[in-house]
């Protein structure tokens, strides 16, 4: 990883000491750090939009130009909002935000450190064969329990994709990166300016008048499961409006996965939001169940991640 623009190892920040940067995204830098009081490792996410801000020698983060200043301030406010929402959303499958604070002209979010890797890394390792149905049915029904809590609390995630799903030992999934979290009561219309990930974002997220709802996150869930089979993101939903057809998962993967699972993927990925499952519960009901994973998820996953399809 390129360490340019990152805070250096050993720097004190509030009650934490930076150990190393672990990831650099378009809007933030994620660090591994240690809490000086508890001695526990934590993850600190710093608001640092790379096209709008730079770091000064004293670590202060400042807009790169006067024209970018307003964007930076708005983004910083939304980041602060993301952190405060997350401190209220408590669930074993939602990343645990334990603190957030302002420093260096920006905002920091402190999360419990979780061992594991994101789902994108698992997909890359299995790019030729696809992840097994058992792996998928170990991870997704549990992940959907967390998503249900987000929806029940009146929020939408709006950026579900493999890179934002962290898989802990034993296959226990964790939904992370709430940078696009959206409060449903404020507006059912999608807000322009939010970040969309090609392949995972349905058409209503690209339209100014797009009507977002739980069905929007469920399209992304379907696209994420499909990429576990296919090894790459599905085509951009905007291209599907034209002549670019997405061949049904039901047809494409019928040799290797159950019809129930494939039908669920195609259902989530319907272009028309009204044809998709409208709630997490509707989808969960149609997903095949793995009885074994209920009792011993860790042992199953150890076997599954090392095995081929089904």
Ligand X SMILES: Nc1ncnc2c1ncn2[C@@H]1O[C@H](COP(=O)(O)OP(=O)(O)OP(=O)(O)O)[C@@H](O)[C@H]1O
| Nearer Cβ to ligand X (42/287) | 42
Asked if 290 and 138 touch (Cβ cutoff 8 Å), the reply is yes
198 lines the binding site for ligand X (CB under 6 A)? no
Helices (H), 101-181: 119-125, 133-152
Stretch that binds ligand X, among 83-91, 110-118, 144-152, 284-292 (CB under 6 A): 110-118
Within residues 141-180, the interface with Mg ion by CB under 5 A covers 163-164, 177
Backbone φ/ψ region at 241: left (φ over 0), alpha (ψ -120 to 50), beta:
alpha
Q: How far is the CB of 216 from ligand X (least distance, A)?
A: 18
83 lines the binding site for ligand X (CB under 6 A)? no
Residue 224 binds: one of Mg ion, ligand X, none (C-beta under 5 to 8 A by kind): none
Residue 27 binds: one of Mg ion, ligand X, none (C-beta under 5 to 8 A by kind): ligand X
Within residues 30-69, the interface with ligand X by CB under 6 A covers 30, 43, 45
Within residues 255-284, the interface with ligand X by CB under 6 A covers none
Q: Which residue has the tokens 């939304």?
A: 78
Q: How far is the CB of 180 from ligand X (least distance, A)?
A: 8
Measured distance CA(245)–CA(243) in Å, rounded: 6
Backbone φ/ψ region at 20: left (φ over 0), alpha (ψ -120 to 50), beta:
beta
As to burial, measured by CB atoms within 10 angstroms (0-12 exposed, 13-18 middle, 19+ buried), residue 247 is exposed
Among 14, 114, 270, 282, the residue binding ligand X under the rule CB under 6 A is: 114
118 lines the binding site for ligand X (CB under 6 A)? yes
Encoded one letter per residue, x for contact with ligand X by CB under 6 A and - for no contact, window 151-180 reads ------------xx-x---------xx-x-
For residue 12, what are its two tokens?
A: 């004190």
| Nearer Cβ to ligand X (30/304) | 30
85 lines the binding site for ligand X (CB under 6 A)? no
Residue 203 binds: one of ligand X, Mg ion, none (C-beta under 5 to 8 A by kind): none
82 lines the binding site for Mg ion (CB under 5 A)? no
DSSP code for 289: P
DSSP helix/strand/coil, 46 = strand
Output b/e per residue, 119-135; b: 16+ Cβ within 10 A: bbebbeebeeebbbbbb
Q: How far is the CB of 165 from ligand X (least distance, A)?
A: 8
Measured distance CA(252)–CA(13) in Å, rounded: 51
Give the Å distances, CA to CA, from 13 to 42, 209, 232. 12, 42, 38
Among 14, 25, 238, 258, the residue binding ligand X under the rule CB under 6 A is: 25
The contact set with Mg ion (CB under 5 A) reads 163-164, 177
The contact set with ligand X (CB under 6 A) reads 22-23, 25-28, 30, 43, 45, 95, 111-114, 118, 163-164, 166, 176-177, 179
């Amino acid at each position: 990883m390129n360490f340019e623009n990152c805070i250096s190892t050993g720097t004190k920040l509030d009650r934490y000491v930076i150990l190393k940067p672990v990831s650099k995204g378009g809007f933030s830098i994620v660090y591994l750090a240690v809490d000086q009081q508890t001695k526990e490792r934590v993850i600190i996410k710093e608001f640092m939009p790379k096209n709008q801000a730079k770091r000064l020698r004293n670590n202060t983060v400042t807009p790169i130009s006067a024209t970018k200043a307003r964007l930076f301030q708005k983004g910083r406010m939304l980041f602060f909002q993301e952190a405060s929402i997350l401190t209220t959303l408590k669930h074993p499958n939602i990343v645990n935000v334990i603190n957030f604070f302002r420093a260096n002209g920006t905002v920091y979010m402190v999360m419990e450190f979780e061992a594991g890797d994101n789902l994108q890394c698992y997909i890359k390792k299995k790019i030729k064969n696809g992840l097994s149905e058992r792996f998928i049915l170990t991870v997704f029904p549990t992940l959907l329990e967390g998503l249900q809590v987000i929806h029940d609390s009146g929020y939408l995630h709006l950026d579900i994709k493999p890179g934002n799903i962290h898989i802990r030992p034993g296959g226990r999934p964790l939904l992370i990166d709430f940078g696009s979290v959206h409060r449903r009561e404020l507006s059912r219309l999608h807000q322009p300016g939010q970040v969309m990930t090609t392949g995972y974002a349905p058409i209503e997220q690209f339209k100014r008048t797009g009507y977002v709802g739980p069905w929007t996150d469920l399209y992304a869930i379907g696209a994420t499961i499909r990429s576990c089979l296919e090894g790459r993101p599905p085509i951009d939903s905007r291209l599907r409006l034209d002549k670019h057809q997405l061949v049904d998962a039901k047809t494409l993967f019928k040799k290797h996965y159950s019809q129930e699972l494939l039908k669920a993927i195609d259902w989530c990925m319907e272009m028309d939001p009204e044809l998709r499952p409208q709630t997490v519960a509707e989808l969960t009901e149609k997903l095949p169940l793995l009885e074994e994973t209920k009792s011993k998820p860790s042992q199953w996953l150890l076997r599954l991640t090392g095995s081929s399809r089904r």
